[in-house]
Structure formats: C-alpha cells, structure tokens
Structure 1
Amino acid sequence: MRTQAVPSSRPGKARRWIRSELPQIVLMLALLAAARDSFANHYYVPSGSMEHTLEIGDRVAVDMRAYGVRLPFTDVQLMATGKPERGDIAVFDSPQDGSRLIKRVAAVAGDEVELVDGRLSIGGVTLGAIDATDTEVFRNHRAALNLSHGGGPDIHGLTVPDGQVLMLGDARGNSIDGRFFGLVPASELYGRAVAVYYRRGEGLVWRRL
C-alpha cells in the first residue's frame, strides 16, 4: 500500500520565523550601528603624518564620547562630555577638503604658540623632553616626533582663540595640518584616539595613546 507524502512545512516555518525575528534583528543591527557611530569607532591610519606615534596601516580605537555625544549618523551634538586637552590625539574632518584626519591637539584656547624647526613651545616654555631627543611632553601624553623630513612651516605669535584648537602631526615635516588649513573648532572633533589595536607585522596589540 502506498502512503501519501506529507508536504514539508519548512517554508511555512521559515516565513513565520522571518516575520517574528527579522524586525528584532534589524533593530539590533541598527542599535549596534548607532552605538558604533556615537560611542566607539575605529580609524585606519593612511599616512605617516603621525609617526612615530602612529604608523601607516595602524588601526586605532576611538572614543566617540570623549568630547560629546552626537545624534547617530549626524554631526549634531546632543551633549558635551569633555573638552580636548593639549596632547590628545583626535579624529576630525579637514577644513580644507573634508577628509577624515587624525592629528594631535597641539594647543587649546588661550595658548601662546611658537613652533620652530618642528619643535613646539607654549607660553614661552618648550615642550621638549629632558630625557629623550625629539620627544615632547604634554600633561598626560608624550609625543615621539619624526623630524626626518624637517620641521615643516614655523608658527610665530599665535594665540589660540576661544573654541578653537591647533592640530599638528607628530611628523612635523610630513603633515598637512593646522599650519595649512588653520585652526579647528573644538566642537568639530569627533573623538579621542585611545589605543592602537592592530599594527602591521605585530598583529593584534593594545598600545595606549
């Protein structure tokens, strides 16, 4: 006696699963994307303008909450959470062409800046380290400069106005920075670089910045 095949219910189950679960998955992915855009992100270093601190190909973890919380996927700041400090490494858009850059906050509002042969002075005091050549000491950071290409353009008699910051690369002779495109509004810094988490030839690392 022949038995009649029972039609598979798999397509129906799949449709029911899609209807019930897909909206939740889409919502979860949207929330993750929003969190990545507003709270934490990463940056791929494309050039040598921040050597020796950052190398070409470095992947850098960025704290997007360091200076303010933005409406996801926009530049609208919802809440200020901190101010950039001298020595921070920050991510921002170039005022020159809109490209995403990573540079050091070399000076903040009220700082009197001199830059000669790539070496920085604030308020008449040089930031050069006593214990290391071509190293600058900020309050919470040390910058290992690369002056193999020279120091680039000098700066004389600059006082940073309120609400602005001066962004410089650590490779002073190989960096298109504030000496070329001017000061950057502090409110336009997206986030502070926290650490290098991947470096060519070494793989996964965690080098605090």
Structure 2
Amino acid sequence: MNTQKGKPEKKHSREWFEALVIAAIFATVLRVFVVESYRIPTGSMENTLLAGDFLFVNKYVYGPKVPFTDIRLPGVDKVERGDIIVFKFPKDRSLNYIKRCVAISGDTLEIHDQQLSINRKPVPLPEHGQFIGVKAPAGEGDYMIFPQSSTFNKDNYGPIRIPRKGDVVQLTAATYPLYSSLVADEGHDVSLQGREVFVDGSPAQKYTVQDNYYFAMGDNRDNSLDSRFWGFLSEKDLVGQALVVYWSWDPDLSLLTDPIGKVSSIRWTRPGLLIH
C-alpha cells in the first residue's frame, strides 16, 4: 500500500521539478536574448530618466549577443540617432551604461556653445534634457575630454567623424589620441614611438576600421560621463534599446532601515512610461 501511494507522489514531484527547470531555462533565454531589466543608477539622463527608475531593455532589436562570445545574432533594426541605448561601458565592460545615441557611424559631430550639430545640422536638446553647470568657453581644452590634448570641452567639441566599418584612418602622432583605443579594442597592439605609430610591432600610417561606432551622450549634459569623455562606442558593446519604465522610487532610501519612507517615495506617475 505505501509503495503504491509513493509512486504517484514521486511522479508528481518530478513533474514539478521538470516544470521549474523548463521555466528557469525559458526565463534565462528570455533574459539573454529578448528583454532584460535595468536600473538607472545615476542622474546622467535626467529628466528623461531618473535615478531609481527600473526599466525593460529590448535586447532583440539590435541583435542579441551569444553569451561568452563576440557572436551577435541578426537584429530587426539598426541604431538610429535619438535612440536611448544600453551598452557595455568601453572602459569597464562589467558595467552597463545608458545614454542617448546622438551620432551614428559616418556622421560628423560638432558642439558649439552647447549646441549639438550632426552633419552641420543643429540637433535640438531632447524634450527633458538640461544643462545645470557653468558653460565652458570655446578653445579652453579639458584634459578629461576625449581625445586628450585637444582643445575640446563639454560645450565646444569637434568637429569629429564617427568611424564606420571600412573607413581608412590616418595614423600619425596627431591622430594617435583619437584612434589608439579604437585600434587596441579591435585586438591590436598599438603604440607611439617618437613621432611614428606602430601596430602589432610594425610601423603603420593607415588603419582600416573593423567595426561600426556610435557617439553617446546623456540628456543631463553637464552631469554625464559619456562619449565626450571616453570616446567612440563600438557596435559590439551594444546591449539593447530602452523600452519602458516599470517601477520607480528614491534610490537613496533603504527599504530595510526606512520602509515607510521607501514606500512613500514610489513615483506612481512613472510606471508604464514609454522611453523616447
């Protein structure tokens, strides 16, 4: 009797276990290839996105990457100017960043007196974009700005062309700060010896770009660590496109130490907000 009763119970437990495994696999595939949750950690996109916003990111649209490889599956769309994108931070790929793509491969970007222009056409500040700092004068270089040793600053920048796959760029002592990190990220050993550039141990005057690149900026223009500071964004570092805010509250309050304050900080107007 006990043996006969035990068999259905074991079968029932096994079915539950199999269902949980299948659900876990499905959730993992969904997270890796289709959609993933992301939390806004800083104010670099204010007031478009706020620190403490939780959002869904569409990883399928640009083509998801196969984990632990550089293989990218086909996407359904290309990155367009104005897209809000999530990407691996080129200087530390363990971190995800979110910014607005303001220029795509082949574009020429320039900022004059805070006015962004792409291919000589002025681009308006995003609807919720803002400037909160002191305006930097033209010609006053900033050592933190990319490329180093230029006369660029956060408010006066360029003109600079965004590299495109197949571009042949000149490698000189003058262009070394502009292209050295790009060449290195594409898998080469690059160095400047005297006034001559060496790639993989040999003198090189030219280099053929192997990937498409983008230029990303935060909507909070004076409080954003973006392409103005670290350079071009490689297509291989794209994660996906921001879709919708599904939750939002004050990130500075702790649910453990101040549960009432944390719950009271819920921003009820933000869940369901489409990101654009």
- Measured against the shorter chain, the TM-score band is 0.7 to 0.9
CA contact (8 A) 2:111 2:159 kept: no
State the match for 1:192 in structure 2. 241
- Where structure 2 has 5 or more consecutive residues not aligned to the other structure, the ranges are 136-152, 165-211, 250-265
1:50 pairs with 2:50:
no
- Could you say if the C-alpha distance between residues 60 and 166 of structure 1 is closer, same or farther in structure 2, counting changes exceeding 3 Å? same
State the match for 1:119 in structure 2. 115
Aligned-residue Cα RMSD (Å) equals 2.3
TM-score by length of 1: 0.81
In structure 2, distance between residues paired with 1:30 and 1:117: 51
State the match for 1:159 in structure 2. 161
Partner AA of 1:125 in structure 2: K
- Where structure 1 has 5 or more consecutive residues not aligned to the other structure, the ranges are 1-5, 129-135, 137-141
Show CA shifts across 1:46-67 (max 9, x none): 0000011111101112111110
- Bigger shift: residues 14-23 or 83-92: 14-23
- Aligned with 1:195: secondary structure? strand
The Cα of 1:20 is off from its aligned counterpart by 3.5
CA contact (8 A) 2:83 2:100 kept: yes
In structure 2, distance between residues paired with 1:71 and 1:95: 18
CA contact (8 A) 2:89 2:237 kept: no
1:145 pairs with 2:129:
yes
- More strand as a share of residues: 1
Percent same amino acid among aligned pairs? Answer: 30
Show CA shifts across 1:113-157 (max 9, x none): 1123443111222212xxxxxxx2xxxxx4421211346623211
Partner AA of 1:103 in structure 2: K
1:67 pairs with 2:133:
no
CA contact (8 A) 1:117 1:150 kept: no
The Cα of 1:74 is off from its aligned counterpart by 5.7
TM-score by length of 2: 0.63
In structure 2, distance between residues paired with 1:78 and 1:169: 27
- Aligned with 1:68: secondary structure? coil
CA contact (8 A) 2:90 2:237 kept: no
Show CA shifts across 1:20-59 (max 9, x none): 4422320222112211221111210000000111111011
Partner AA of 2:43 in structure 1: G
- Aligned with 1:71: secondary structure? coil
